[in-house]
Chain A
Amino acid sequence: MFKRLNVVIALLIVASLALAACAPAAPKTIKIATQSPLSGGQSLLGVDIKRGAELALEQLGGPLTEMGFTVELAPYDDQATPDVGVANAKNIVADSAILCGVGHLNSGVMIPSSEEYHTAGLAFVSPANTNPVVTTRGYAEVNRIVGRDDVQAPVAEAYARNELGASSVYIIHDKTAYGQGVAEFFRAAADENGLEVQAFEGTEETANFDAIITPLLASNPDVVFFSGIYNQAGVFFKQARDAGYEGTFMGTDGMDASDLAALAGDALTKGGGMVYTSVAGPAAAYPKAAKFASDFEAKFGSAPQPFSAQAYDSMGVCLSAIKNAAEAAGGEVPTREAVRDAIRALSYDGMTGSIAFDSIGDLPTAKYFIIKVNATSAETWGSNEIVAELDFASPGMGE
């Protein structure tokens, strides 16, 4: 019995030696990970984050290839779920070829996953996460190229008060780190400025909103602020409008997907219509993005969703930082720590604006958009117009 086991072990050792001998054949491989929901209800946005990064790698990977590196994309599907995101993060940090990452879509997934990146010293650039906590922990590994909820929500609140002339608001959130986070900031701003908050409701319901709509109709607020993601909000908007609500719907950047119009139809344009704030404007908001949009459509056969351009820039940041770090390392594969520090030192001229990070990984000044929906179907989502475009300084670590 033991004799046979010894033979097996010996064979295994020989085999592993043989494999080890093969391994150094590709010595200078660098991988860049993406993490975003590639399946499930938010995959529309998540897949285009991956595609934006993929396109950037293809178009901007040249300098690294010239230095003799093989640069590969390592896409991961976080399913918009924190535990899946963390499990993937463990796999990502275990792969020593991965030097940088692009992701996530959801702050609720980014925050726990980035604990893993932080422990491993692996830099991540986020194209979409707006929860302040993503950066206010002060991790050197976590960066983002979009604005923050603690600015986005007051921008929305000011718009409701000043431009829509609202005096009452009904706040509904989806009980996630992102949705509830924005909702809390909105409520704080409303309380401060005298906008009456009639209700503050969280719900995980995705189908039957009767129980929320009945008291809402009785209160009849000027504005309903829904802080969450389009697949939930679209159903809610449709049911509320069908039930007879006539005021204005407001939402956050989680609404920015063409499927919102597919779900809600003309509920978005009837009555008081619908506006949403965003940290990522449509392609038209960025003069340099026209080529990106046409390249994207040529490669993938559909127009890029929001955050896709940001994913392109995030990948661009990763590539430039790796290149700088590799040059500093004399053409060798740089360490994760070197890449991490190179990102913070970088000044990158991106498609969505010039990108440089402050000491906690935020943009010193980020753009915020207010967008009015004119679309009643997914095909016409591009007809939405920007009604306001604002630059705000990052609040830093907060109080």
Chain B
Amino acid sequence: MKTFTSNPFYKFIIFPVGQMLAFILGAGTLLSVIIILLAYIFRGSVTNLDLVERTITILPKVLIDGITIGFVYATIALGYTMVYGVLEFINFSHSEIFMVGGVVGVELLRYFDAQGSLATMNEYVVIGMAIVLGMVIAGGLAVTVERIAYKPLRGAPRLVPLISAIGMSFILQDAVRLILGLTTGEFNVILPQFGTFDEFQILTIPGIANAVQIQNKTILLIAVTVMMLVGLNFLVNGTKIGKAIRAVAQDRPTASLMGINVNLIISLTFLIGGALGGAAGVLFALKVTRLDPFVGFFPGLKAFTAAVLGGIGNLTGALLGGLVLGLLESFGASYLGIFTEGAFGAEYKDILAFAILIIILIFRPSGLLGQTVGQKA
């Protein structure tokens, strides 16, 4: 057994993927059981439809919606949590890094579309190019932002770089708005239609009458984010660079004494976090089909919440937090209206999700997986 668990294939593929599956199954099953129980309890009070039947009919789709957005949150949350791990401050401009990645990716697709070559190219190659470009630009931008706005403030009180980050966030939003206005003259960045991403795969689950439909782009989104998360896990836990990142996160002065180039590692952290955010931006754009310079705000805020929920500074925690938050939101939005016969609709999903988060944080103030994070002096 010992030899098997130290096998790199197990350690870097089976274990992280299994962990994700466990999180999804755990959170998904728990919420499903709760909602079905609630449906039975309130069955009599809802008169306009059969509550139990409706609850079960839409349940698979609600789970898929929640997992999809959960992976987006998780991928962005990693950027917050990695930076927090090494620098102990919240990089609020990360939501704009996410937006920039998405905008750059879509602009590449629009460029191909204008050239007329989009329809003839392999759709997966094209989207791959968009994701890579989004990652490169977003990663580069994150490093640049760190150099300009955070590095000069590294010795300052902790609130100072926080304010600087909020400022960078506004600057990036309006810079993108300005650049888009000057180049394309448009505020909305609309994804050109191409490929078969809008088509459905139909899953039939034995025992459930309704087939579950998943769009190709949703499958792509989940597959790519899972691959990135596995890759990141390998990078952080299986390579020397990862060891250096962990060392800097634990104790920066000592890491520096051990011959680790701290500035390089911090830049690298921003590069990785930014690249993940950029890729998430492109995938998000593929899913929602429209971006604008302010589109990063809400996913960014949610991802930051997910990072806190999971235990900020903890990579696994960010993944768990993202999935839990995504599922909570999806359940809240889909079921609030049905359970209350329309008195409280999807607009209250955030209130429900955040109420549950606060309850969780009352009992676990450092987050779901937060206790293992090093308490620095």
Interface residues of A (CB under 8 A from B): 39-41, 43-44, 175, 197-208, 210-212, 214-215, 217-218, 231, 234-235, 238-239, 242-244, 259, 262-263, 265
Contact = CB atoms under 8 A, between A and B. Distances in A.
A200 B349 CA distance: 14
A204 B298 CA distance: 10
Contacts of A211: 62, 65, 329-330, 332-334, 346, 349
A53 B347 CA distance: 37
A215 B338 contact: yes
A239 B187 contact: no
B188 A263 contact: yes
A302 B250 CA distance: 60
A259 B345 CA distance: 28
Contacts of B200: 244
A215 B62 CA distance: 9
Contacts of B215: 242-243
B42 to A, nearest CB: 16
A201 B188 contact: no
Given A210-B65, A210-B69, A263-B290, A40 B342 contact: no
Contacts of A242: 198, 215
Interface string B10-33: 000000000000000000000000
B371 interface: no
A278 B295 CA distance: 28
A394 to B, nearest CB: 31
A203 B329 CA distance: 13
Given A175-B347, A206-B292, A210-B65, A215 B188 contact: no
Interface residues of B, number: 41
Given A201-B337, A231-B188, A215 B288 contact: no
Contacts of B94: none
Given A201-B346, A201-B347, A211-B329, 8 more contacts: A199-B337, A199-B345, A203-B346, A205-B298, A210-B69, A212-B333, A218-B58, A231-B290
A234 B188 CA distance: 11
Interface of B: 54, 57-58, 61-62, 65, 68-69, 177, 181, 187-188, 190, 193, 198, 200, 213, 215, 284, 287-292, 295, 298-299, 329-330, 332-335, 337-338, 342, 345-347, 349
A263 B193 CA distance: 10
A39 B181 contact: yes
Contacts of B61: 214, 217
A208 B347 contact: no
Contacts of A203: 346-347
Contact of A207 (B177, B295, B330): B295
Contacts of B290: 206-207, 231, 234-235, 263
Contacts of A41: 187-188, 292
A259 B184 CA distance: 14
A263 B190 contact: yes
Contacts, number: 99
A198 B190 CA distance: 31
Contact of A200 (B69, B190, B289, B342): B342
Contacts of B187: 39-41, 43-44, 231
B345 A202 contact: yes
A215 B58 contact: yes
A218 B68 contact: no
B334 A215 contact: yes
A210 B330 contact: yes
Contacts of A39: 177, 181, 187
Contact of A201 (B65, B284, B298, B345): B345
| Top 3 A-B residue pairs of the complex, sorted by shortest distance between their CB atoms | A211-B333, A210-B65, A201-B345
A208 B337 contact: no
A79 to B, nearest CB: 11
Contacts of B335: 215
Contacts of B57: 218
B193 to A, nearest CB: 6
Interface centre among B62, B284, B288, B292 (most CB of A within 10 A): B288
18 contacts: A40-B177, A198-B342, A201-B345, A207-B284, A207-B298, A208-B287, A211-B332, A211-B349, A215-B337, A217-B58, A218-B57, A218-B58, A231-B188, A235-B289, A242-B215, A244-B200, A262-B190, A263-B290
B175 to A, nearest CB: 14
Contacts of A43: 187
B347 A265 contact: no
Contacts of A212: 333, 346
Contacts of A239: 288-289
Nearest to B337: A199
A190 to B, nearest CB: 12
B69 A208 contact: yes
Nearest to A197: B342
A202 B343 CA distance: 11
Contacts of A206: 290, 292, 295
Nearest to A218: B58
Contact of A202 (B299, B332, B347): B347
A199 B349 contact: no
